[in-house]
Structure 1
Amino acid sequence: MAKVTKHTKAAFGSDFDDFLRDEEIYEEVQSAAIKRVVAWQLAEEMRKQSITKVEMARRMQTSRSQLDRLLDPDNDRIELATLGRAARALGRELQIGLT
């Protein structure tokens, strides 16, 4: 006989968030996840538009090494101004909000 639990699929996410908060790492994990998504979105848009890293750096008026840091999903030390320049270089808009 299968074991019945009180959790539904909808409840698992909040339980995990609670776990991260209990471990006092929620904000750190959330920030890392956001940075990874933004880095992926930028790289994906560059791929869709066939923009090389050299061309992207030129459009942003920055160095290739700075662009590499921006696209590095593990580097969370990126300024909002840099993200904005990257978005504009791709003809896109950076949106940030509170939920």
Structure 2
Amino acid sequence: MNANIGSDFDDFLAEQGILEEVSATALKRVIAWQLTEAMKEQKISKKALAERMHTSRTLVDRALDERDPGMTIATLANAAKAVGCRVEIRLLPDHEPVV
């Protein structure tokens, strides 16, 4: 019998020791996707975004790469600002309180 059947997926990831890594990767993917969508809506090229951010096109490529976990919050926030947005990160309790 599988001990994980019926358990929370976050519990499974925590048991594997990868919850924080998976959560950070998912957050980066969402922000990269949102930046890409904002660029499409505003018809902003990667070159134009790089100019707005005062950085290189290579850094923009990395910021938009969903698989690149190495981007700093500051870089992502700078990219968001360049498309008229902001990044919001909050701390949340691990689990909902039991009532």
Which category describes the TM-score, using the shorter chain as reference length?
0.7 to 0.9
Partner of residue 18, structure 1: 11
Deviations 1:13-44 (A, max 9, x none): x6111111111111111111111001000001
Partner of residue 55, structure 1: 48
- Runs of 4+ deviating beyond 4 Å: none
Inter-partner Cα distance in structure 1 for 2:59 and 2:11? 35
Task: After TM superposition, list the pairs within 5 Å mapping 1:39-78 onto structure 2.
Answer: 39-78=32-71
Segments of 5+ residues of structure 1 without an aligned counterpart are 1-6
Q: How many pairs were matched up?
A: 88
The percentage of counterpart residues that share the same residue type is 49
User: Could you state the TM-score of these two structures normalised by the residue count of structure 1?
Assistant: 0.83
Deviations 1:56-88 (A, max 9, x none): 000000100010000000101111211121111
Partner of residue 3, structure 1: none
Look up the equivalent residue of 1:66 and give its one-letter code: L
User: Could you state the TM-score of these two structures normalised by the residue count of structure 2?
Assistant: 0.83
Inter-partner Cα distance in structure 2 for 1:95 and 1:33? 15
Q: 1:37 aligns with which of 16, 30, 40?
A: 30
Question: Larger deviation: 41-50 or 88-97?
Answer: 88-97
Q: Root-mean-square deviation (CA), in Å?
A: 1.4
Q: 1:87 aligns with which of 77, 80, 92?
A: 80
